[in-house]
C-alpha cells in the first residue's frame, strides 16, 4: 500500500521568542522536524511533503538535508491546519493509498503508533490520548473506537469537557478522501481558519467510517515554548539512554551522558560520566569512552579507548584498539589500528599509521591562515613529545622524531629526525640576569 506523509511545519512559534523557525529548534542535536521525519520514515513512505511557511528557505534546507527526496510546499498565509494540508493537494493529486498528517513540532510519535493507524480499516483515523490534565485540549467524542466528532474545548459542553480522550492532531486516512474533504472545509469560525479537526464530522456526514487509535500522552507532546523544548530534551535523553542500556551499553552515570538523534553505540561499550555525543557519532562494540569527553561527527572502532577529557571532532576515524588520551583533540584524521595519542596533543587533517605512538604535546600544524594541509605519519612511528609537524609533511614507517622538534620536511622511513636549535650554556649568566631584573624592578618602585 502506498503511504504519503504530510508534515506541517509552517508555524512561526511566537512563544519561542526566536528568529529560528520553531520546527528547527534542536532536540538531541537535531531539529525537531527531523524527529518527525524519522518517525514517518519508518513506514517507508512513497512521498514526504513538508508544508513550510515561516522561514521556508531554512525549513526547506533542513528537510532536504535529512531526506533529499522530500517535497516542500509553501503555505503563504497561515489559515489553519486544514488549509496547510490543502497546500499538498497538487503534489499528491495522483496518489492512492493513505495519507498521514504529522506535525513538525510534535517529534515523539512512535513507529508502532503510526503502524496501528495505517492498519486501521476505517476511512479516517485520528490519534487520541488520555490526558492527565485535559486542560484545553480538543475532545474526541466517540463510541468505543468509533469517532463521532472532534470538539474544541471552547465549543464543548460540560458533558463533552468531561471526556478524557483528547485530540493529538495526527490523522490518517484514504488519500483521495482526505484531499477531497480538506477541499470542502469551511472557515465559519471566530478565527476564520480551516481546521483539520472538522474532517471526521465531514467524513461521517458522507457515510465514511471514522475511528480512533490511542497512544501514550508522552508521544503527543507539542513544542511551543522554550519550557516545552527543555521538557522534550529531557524526555528524549531519558528514552535514548534507556534504549542504550537495554541494548547492552554500560552507562556509569546515565543522567550525565547526552546523546543525539543519530548516535549509534554498540553493545559492551562502556560510557563513563559526563560524556557528550554530538551529531554523527558511531561507536562500535567493546569501546570505552572515558569521562568528560566530547564526540561529534566521528567513528570509533571496537576496542578503542577515548579520554578522559578527549575531543573527537568531525572526520575523526579511529580504527580498532586505538588509544586517544586526556586533553587530546582529533579532527578530520584517520588513526590506524593500535596507534596511540595519549596526552595533550592536537592531530588534525592527518593520517596516523598502525601502531604508531604520538608523544605528549604533539601538534600537526595544519593551517597556514588560508588553506588546510595534510600530515601523513606512517606505521610504527614514534613521535617525540612536543613535536611540531608543519604540514604538508610526511613521516615514513618506523621513523622517529626527537622531542621538541619542529618538522618542516619529510622524514624518511626508519630515520631519526632532529630539528631543534643546539643548547647554548653561558656560565653565571642566570645570576647576573636576575640581579639586573631585580634592580630594574626596585627603580620602578621608587618612581625613578
Rama region for 40: left / alpha / beta (φ>0; ψ in -120 to 50; rest): alpha
Cis-peptide, bond into residue 308, ω within 30° of zero:
yes
Question: 343 catalytic, yes or no?
Answer: yes
**Partner residues linked to 331 by β-bridges:** 348
**Partner residues linked to 3 by β-bridges:** 98
CA distance 21 to 54: 6
Q: Give the up-direction half-sphere exposure of residue 117: CA atoms within 13 A in the CB hemisphere.
A: 32
Per DSSP, the three-state class of 436 is helix
Rg value, the chain, Cα: 30
Cα-Cα-Cα-Cα dihedral sign, residues 131, 133, 139, 141: positive
Among 25, 54, 343, 374, which one carries the catalytic annotation?
Answer: 343
The number of angstroms, rounded, from the C-alpha of 191 to the middle of its chain's C-alpha atoms is: 36
For residue 302, which of 317, 316, 288, 281 has the smallest C-alpha distance? 288
Per DSSP, the three-state class of 65 is helix
The number of angstroms, rounded, from the C-alpha of 387 to the middle of its chain's C-alpha atoms is: 36
Neighbours of 253 (CB within 10 A): 12
- Residue-wise DSSP of 373-386: --EEE-TT-EEPTT
Answer for the pair 408, 418: CB distance below 8 angstroms, yes or no: no
CA distance 303 to 229: 36
For residue 184, which of 166, 163, 198, 169 has the smallest C-alpha distance? 198
Question: Which sequence positions are flagged as catalytic?
Answer: 343
Amino acid at each position: 500500500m502506498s503511504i504519503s506523509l504530510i508534515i506541517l511545519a509552517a508555524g512561526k512559534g511566537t512563544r519561542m521568542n526566536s528568529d529560528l523557525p520553531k520546527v528547527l529548534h534542536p532536540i538531541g542535536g537535531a531539529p525537531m522536524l527531523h524527529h518527525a521525519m524519522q518517525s514517518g520514515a519508518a513506514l517507508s513512505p512513497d512521498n514526504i511533503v513538508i508544508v513550510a511557511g515561516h522561514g521556508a528557505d531554512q525549513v526547506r534546507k533542513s528537510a532536504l538535508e535529512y531526506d533529499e527526496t522530500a517535497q516542500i510546499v509553501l503555505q503563504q498565509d497561515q489559515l489553519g491546519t486544514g488549509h496547510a494540508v490543502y497546500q499538498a493537494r497538487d503534489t499528491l493529486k495522483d496518489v492512492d493509498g493513505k495519507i498521514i498528517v504529522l506535525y513538525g513540532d510534535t517529534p515523539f510519535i512512535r513507529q508502532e503508533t503510526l503502524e496501528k493507524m495505517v492498519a486501521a480499516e476505517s476511512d479516517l483515523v485520528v490519534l487520541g490520548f488520555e490526558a492527565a490534565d485535559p486542560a484545553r485540549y480538543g475532545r474526541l467524542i466517540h463510541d468505543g473506537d468509533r469517532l463521532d466528532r472532534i470538539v474544541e474545548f471552547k465549543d464543548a459542553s460540560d458533558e463533552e469537557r468531561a471526556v478524557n480522550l483528547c485530540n493529538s492532531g495526527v490523522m490518517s486516512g484514504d488519500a483521495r478522501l482526505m484531499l477531497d474533504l480538506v477541499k470542502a472545509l469551511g472557515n465559519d469560525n471566530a478565527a476564520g481558519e480551516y481546521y483539520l479537526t472538522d474532517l471526521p464530522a465531514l467524513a461521517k456526514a458522507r457515510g465514511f467510517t471514522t475511528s480512533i487509535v490511542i497512544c501514550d500522552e508522552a508521544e503527543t507532546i507539542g513544542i511551543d515554548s522554550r519550557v516545552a523544548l527543555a521538557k522534550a530534551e529531557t524526555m528524549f535523553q531519558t528514552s535514548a539512554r534507556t534504549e542504550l542500556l537495554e541494548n547492552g551499553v554500560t552507562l556509569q552515570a546515565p543522567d550525565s551522558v547526552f546523546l543525539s538523534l543519530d548516535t549509534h553505540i554498540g553493545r559492551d561499550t562502556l560510557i563513563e560520566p559526563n560524556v557528550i555525543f554530538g551529531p554523527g557519532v558511531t561507536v562500535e562494540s567493546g569501546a570505552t569512552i572515558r569521562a568528560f569527553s566530547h564526540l561529534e561527527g566521528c567513528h570509533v572502532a571496537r576496542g578503542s579507548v577515548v579520554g578522559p577529557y578527549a575531543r573527537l571532532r568531525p572526520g575523526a576515524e579511529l580504527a580498532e584498539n586505538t588509544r586517544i588520551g586526556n586533553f587530546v583533540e582529533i579532527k578530520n584524521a584517520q588513526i590506524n589500528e593500535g596507534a596511540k595519542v595519549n596526552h595533550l596533543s592536537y592531530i588534525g587533517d592527518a593520517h596516523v599509521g598502525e601502531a604508531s605512538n604520538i608523544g605528549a604535546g604533539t601538534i600537526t600544524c595544519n593551517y597556514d591562515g588560508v588553506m588546510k594541509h595534510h600530515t601523513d605519519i606512517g606505521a610504527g612511528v614514534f613521535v617525540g613529545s612536543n613535536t611540531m609537524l608543519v604540514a604538508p609533511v610526511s613521516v615514513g614507517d618506523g621513523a622517529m622524531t626527537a622531542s621538541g622538534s619542529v618538522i618542516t620536511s619529510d622524514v624518511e622511513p626508519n630515520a631519526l629526525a632532529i630539528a631543534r636549535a643546539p643548547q647554548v650554556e653561558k656560565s653565571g649568566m642566570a645570576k647576573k640576569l636576575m640581579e639586573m631584573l631585580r634592580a630594574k624592578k626596585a627603580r620602578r618602585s621608587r618612581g625613578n
